[in-house]
Amino acid sequence: MAKTQLNVRVDETTAEAARRRARQRGVSVNRYIEELVQQDAGEAGRAFVEAAADFMRRYESVFAEEFGAPDRGTAGER
């Protein structure tokens, strides 16, 4: 995968914390920051899925009343 360079300005305390955490993990600061962003993006995706599932649990009866009960058969029963 091609890499894109980003330039980020942070205060010295934040920069030193990033360097220290990267050293503790045995990775470069670049890799450490990349992993943080990927983790954050993944959490947002999980939060969306959890919210969608909660919505369906709460409003499933409304949808069933309006459109009929969902077909809950498995693929093998088709």
Find all residues with CB under 8 Å of 28, minimum gap 6, and list them: 22
Query: For residues 34 and 21, what is the distance between their CA atoms, to the nearest angstrom?
Result: 13
pTM, entire model:
0.55
Query: For residues 41 and 46, what is the distance between their CA atoms, to the nearest angstrom?
Result: 9
Residue 35 in 3-state DSSP? helix
Summarised one tens digit per residue, pLDDT across range 42-69 is: 877 787 888 888 888 898 888 888 888 7
Summarised one tens digit per residue, pLDDT across range 4-48 is: 998 999 999 999 999 999 999 999 999 999 999 988 888 777 878
Q: Distance from CA of residue 34 to its chain's centroid? A: 14
Other beta carbons within 10 angstroms of residue 35's beta carbon come to: 13
